[in-house]
Amino acid sequence: MTNSPALARNLMRSHETAALATNLPGDGHPYASLVLVAADYDAAPILLISDLAEHSNNIAADDRVSLLFDGTRGLAGPLTGARLSVQGRAMRDNCGRLRRRFLARHEDAADYADFADFGFYHVAVERGHLVAGFGKIEWIDGADLLFPSAGAAAFDALEPGAVSHMNEDHGDAIQDYAQYLLGGTNRDAGTGWTMTGCDPEGCDLRRGGEVLRLGFDTPVNDGDSLRGALVALARTARANAS
């Protein structure tokens, strides 16, 4: 399958929700629930969940989890679309980077993120099962599925400023990305989009309940290459608009 890890990572990065499967203590039955999700720079899932939730109790007893990212919504034939099941271990981790990236993607979660019973988790990915349509099925090892994280420290330093700069000074370019590169709904209106995050492979956009993923042609690793990628995409968007 062509560039399967990149397709799988795009599914993880593009979705703001996933189905979380955990194991019920005692009988071991799988328990599925809906969770909000964000992605770290390497695409590893980030969760914010309550200790009072059933899935949190399950994770405390057995940290093995599976997350389903569904890319089939809205398709006339859902089984022709891509979906990814990620297997790994959910580990509580309240580090600042995970908190910042999650809350940037899910702004409303700031209302309860500091409640005593809530905690951030990262999923240590072990493997993924990608189904990209009929007959296009593949297991991907975790080391191949995740993007190399060597540049995470550099991105952690530059991302907040870059996102703020785009939203404050280049809002028109963000609207152009949504309208002319990504086919955002209400295409003619095309206003109200903001950038919520950047990573080496692309940026995330939001307008209310809509989210869009803006992918880069090639990965970036520093401020200069990020700026160059965004400028090039803005030029392409303007050309598409004319």
pLDDT in tens, 202-220: 999 999 999 999 999 999 9
Determine the Cα–Cα distance for residues 43 and 12; give it in Å rounded to an integer: 6
Contact assessment for residue 225 and residue 238, using Cβ atoms and an 8 Å cutoff? no
Residues of the chain with pLDDT under 70: 1-2, 150-151, 184-190
Please give the structure tokens belonging to residue 60.
């405390």
Query: H or E stretch including 85?
Result: strand 83-92
Secondary structure letter of residue 139 according to DSSP: E
Walk me through the domains of the chain, giving residue ranges and CATH numbers.
Answer: 4-149 (2.30.110.10), 153-241 (3.20.180.10)
Please give the structure tokens belonging to residue 42.
């390497």
Cα radius of gyration rounded to whole Å, the chain: 18
Tokens 């996102």, residue located = 163
Greatest extent of the chain over all pairs of C-alpha atoms, in Å: 62
Please give the structure tokens belonging to residue 225.
């290459």
pLDDT digits (tens, 9 = 90+) for 103-149: 999 999 999 999 999 999 999 999 999 999 877 899 999 999 999 87
